[in-house]
Chain A
């Protein structure tokens, strides 16, 4: 159904969809960009954020507390996982890192299934955002519009922490030359743990703010994990602005293609990824040479 009204609607929908993908992807790219670990448990962390938030919501009835609980819980999980497992894999081959994070993902998903079952859990949108907004060109769920704002704030906050603070400086120095940073008397491992925690928290935060849009099940992260990888590859692996750009591009591709032929919206996403890999193997905003 190609007409002007639908085009504008899909353009806007692509923006919201893309913002969400950007948020989920940011955590993945932060961890890869700084620690060099491709975290296949990212989808599972996203899911854990949703469930932790849902539990907090069930007990308190507050959406804000649910968001805080979801984010903090997954951050703590991130700290523990880094300290107990990931730390021993920094110097090991990438295949080992993929396998261990993949395995962790399975443990988390099946653990959630054991405790919560397979039926989906709903966290309703906070009061006042449950309705529908008239945007002029279309009606759109109010919460999804609010989500756009939430994501922008969250991404800016992450950017500031990583690129405009002392911690961020240490982190980036640690990537370039961890031995030197160590020699300067800074505990690099502590910083790495912090980074993994922040990346995990981003996933958990995305998991709970996404819950009113897509209800939570143990598998909820799986579908997103695949899309997230596409986003990160398009934007440039390890590049934070790349994740944002990649997310927006992915969102628009999915939306606009669906207008022409819905059966191809995800196909086109992978076509775009392939094109990027052929023409710019390091992604749109990625830099060559990162090991």
Chain B
């Protein structure tokens, strides 16, 4: 009670008010973060960036059908955090204003297992918001998770850096003001790989599709089929829809065996892709029917072996031999290989780029205040990446970036044990994309 004077006002309050008044007199026109009335508290702002560190929350699958790919993206995130905090030259190429942290603050990462399930991911992020006051969240390896986190980000006013998500919906009908996607997706994959397929396999072919039963599978299948039907006269003879996490594909493969297809377009992902590729071979479907993978899976070739990916066409975000073409790719592959002892796959590349871009946008905006950071993204400035110059599309928050077409090498052509894919083409991104509103994207409010 000794700190109270007779009027009941604490000395501390008096001092604070006094200092505030003095400060406002001393700095007329001051409109910085702390006193600005036009930056009301929202989400975790400003609490999340008051200390000497800021935290990003990651909900990645460490169990279930996408576990291997979840670990892959987690490694990319960890490397990016390390680079941001030490001001690594690679980060500075993407985010020049980063120097040992972002805006003078170290960046920390907290991680939870999502099991590729939307509920788990949202719960984990809610916990991170409450306990760690995260300034941004990331994770997904399933578009079902990405779409759920999009909506959650919008509600909580926390930036969401989409990890792996191939559905058109993520920056289409389920897009969000608070969400940004770096990687390629169904529509760009289809328009990039489509011409390659028509050129290599010819016109009027019969295709059997294998589709995982959720937003990613359905939108990718639709985009690929639309392209092939329209530009190559291909017909879809069967579409084998299976639940995420299927282990025995025999009934679907039996249908394909009886379908008379020439090509199998396998949209399955993660472990489902591994198993369906292995079992298609056991059933004698491949290599008689040609396998196509429109949305590449990290570690697929490593898991099934080069014998099974030989001659397979795939669209991807990144493959490590691009280091011969892009200096940033070389720096990334070297740094990753040094830390983890193997070449990075595209899940790691995507995660690293998302963090680097976030660091760029925050440091360029000069604040963690979410609407200002979003507006920085929406300026659509060009910057360098591991696949050349890229920029964000302000209307749907999709990065305009090339799609990489690869073809599986025969075991005898591999120069080392990780030389699974040959880069056929790096297709520029802009012409591959639909019009920004074609998939029904309406971004929400800033505040």
Interface residues of A (CB under 8 A from B): 1, 3, 5-6, 9-10, 13-14, 16-17, 20, 109, 113, 117-120, 122, 132, 138-141, 143-144, 213-215, 217-220, 222-224, 254-255, 258-259, 262-263, 265-266
Contacts and interface: CB of A to CB of B under 8 A. Distances in A.
A120 B63 contact: no
B351 interface: no
The majority secondary structure among interface residues of chain B is mixed
Contacts of B246: 223
Contacts of A217: 67, 271
B242 A262 contact: yes
Contacts of B237: 1
B254 A138 contact: yes
Given A118-B68, A214-B275, A140 B258 contact: no
A41 to B, nearest CB: 16
Interface in B152-187: none
B303 interface: yes
A125 B209 CA distance: 27
B255 A262 contact: yes
Q: Which 4 A-B pairs have the closest CB atoms?
A: A263-B241, A258-B251, A132-B284, A118-B67
B256 to A, nearest CB: 9
Contacts of A118: 62, 67-68, 70-71
B65 interface: yes
Given A1-B255, A122-B305, 18 more contacts: A1-B238, A1-B259, A3-B258, A10-B254, A17-B251, A20-B248, A118-B68, A118-B70, A119-B302, A139-B283, A144-B250, A213-B282, A258-B240, A258-B251, A258-B254, A262-B239, A262-B240, A262-B255
Given A17-B250, A143-B282, A224-B247, A258 B258 contact: no
Contacts of A259: 251, 255
B349 to A, nearest CB: 18
17 contacts: A1-B259, A9-B254, A10-B254, A10-B255, A17-B250, A117-B71, A120-B68, A120-B303, A140-B283, A144-B250, A215-B275, A215-B278, A218-B63, A259-B255, A262-B241, A265-B251, A266-B243
A20 B248 CA distance: 11
B252 interface: yes
A139 B299 CA distance: 29
Nearest to B72: A118
B284 A139 contact: yes
Nearest to B256: A1
Contacts of A214: 247-248, 275, 279
Interface in B296-311: 299, 302-303, 305
B380 interface: no
B366 interface: no
B195 interface: no
Contacts of B274: 120, 215
Contacts of A17: 248, 250-251
A160 to B, nearest CB: 28
Contacts of B241: 262-263
A250 B284 CA distance: 25
Contacts of A223: 245-247
B446 to A, nearest CB: 39
Most chain A beta-carbon contacts within 10 A, residue among B70, B243, B248: B248
A229 B129 CA distance: 38
Nearest to B279: A213
A258 B252 contact: yes
A219 B248 contact: no
Contacts of B283: 132, 139-141
Contacts of A218: 63, 67
Contacts of A16: 250
A263 B246 CA distance: 12
A27 to B, nearest CB: 18
Contacts of B282: 132, 141, 143-144, 213
Nearest to A213: B248
Contacts of A213: 248, 279, 282
B287 interface: no
Contacts of A138: 254, 257-258
B426 to A, nearest CB: 28
B261 to A, nearest CB: 10
